[in-house]
Amino acid sequence: MQLFKTFLVVVVVSEILSCSKTPPPTEALQPSTINITHAKEAPFLDVPLGLTHDNLNIPKTSTLTQNEVELGRILYFDPRLSADGTVSCATCHKPEEGWGEHEAVSTGIRGQKGVRNAPTVVNSTFMGSQFWDGRAASLEEQALGPLVNPIEMGNKTVKDVVTRIKTIQGYLPYFEKTFHQGPTEENLARAIAAFERTVLSANSRYDQYLKGDQSALNPAEVRGLAVFMGKGRCVLCHVGPTFSDSQFHNIGVGMAAEKPDMGRHVVTKKKEDVGAFKTPGLRDLLKTSPYMHDGSQLTLEEVVEFYDKGGEPNDHLDPRITPLHLTAEEKADLVQFMKALEGNPYPFVKAPELPQ
């Protein structure tokens, strides 16, 4: 009977999480080893086991050449993109901290504190929209957002950033070689987004388990998978290859505050979006603490307890968020399963030598 239950769980998960035929496993991608092919003029990356070629959200304007990705890597680490030369993309989205930051909220120019936790760059190309509130429709649009945020990088306009880059002579050959022209707002965004698209994580023990290696997960993790799919109701929102529906839900985080963050409502002005935030992916969770949009949950155990109690009651709570009544063993098993979603260690991306 237990064997049948395990088989059933595997079949159901396979159906839900696979958007297309799973590609063969590949080594973690580095900018220098990207394998580009073209299908109907739309380039796409080779992706590791567990992800799919669907929903990569790569615009036709992106060529994802090695030059484009390498230029994006340099720009990603360059604090000169900020108004005072102190903050880069990597300041808040650190490769060594799961491409996020182990702080509840990040610090921008002049020591200013933000109000939301830095989301990870990992697998961000699969997201339908960017930022916790989905205000950017693409990685290209997202790449430009922090540049003009007064708390983050503090520039008045993106044009100011482009003008500053043009004064750095060492950058000009990079742009000419990549785009056959000097720096522009468009190719600045293209380069940074191209680099971010290479940050992929999968081929976890869970993916190996689905592929047929029954020894890849231990008994507690298999039980946790069953909780994830069943009593825990996690799969209602954490679905697909990245374990995110890319939709927005009010689960009550922060809603008890005197002035709660309105989340998606700030973008859409719709009543149903009050306090709703994008479902984060679940891969590489151990690297991306703290959790939730405000960084209020320090551990996965805290996250499970929050969901088990039914979130934080408020007038806009998603109807899917209800008390779970999990046992202590079920909670522990669920945490163990989520830890099994850790992907193969992607290569540490070091800060490059910056053009002068």
Active-site residues, by number, are: 152
Q: Is residue 290 within 8 Å of residue 117, measured between CB atoms?
A: yes
Interior angle at CA 276, CA 282 and CA 136, nearest 5: 75
* Amino acid letter, 35: N
CB atoms within 10 A of CB 210: 20
Task: Determine the Cα–Cα distance for residues 176 and 23; give it in Å rounded to an integer.
Answer: 35
Q: Is residue 42 within 8 Å of residue 58, measured between CB atoms?
A: yes
Say if residue 45 is exposed, middle or buried (CB neighbours under 10 Å; 0-12, 13-18, 19+): buried
Task: Determine the Cα–Cα distance for residues 238 and 256; give it in Å rounded to an integer.
Answer: 24
Sequence-distant (6+) residues with CB within 8 A of 146 are 89, 92, 152, 153
Q: Is 35 left (phi over 0), alpha (psi -120 to 50) or beta?
A: beta
Helix (H) or strand (E) holding 321: none
| E strand segments, 187-308 | 248-249, 277-278
Task: Determine the Cα–Cα distance for residues 226 and 224; give it in Å rounded to an integer.
Answer: 5
Instruction: For 136, list phi and psi in degrees, rounded to 5.
Output: -110, 135
The pair of three-digit structure tokens given for residue 352, joined into one six-digit string: 């490059």
Residue pointed to by tokens 């702080």: 103
Question: Can you state the percent helix, strand and coil of the chain, rounding each to 5?
Answer: 40, 5, 55
Instruction: For 162, list phi and psi in degrees, rounded to 5.
Output: -60, -45
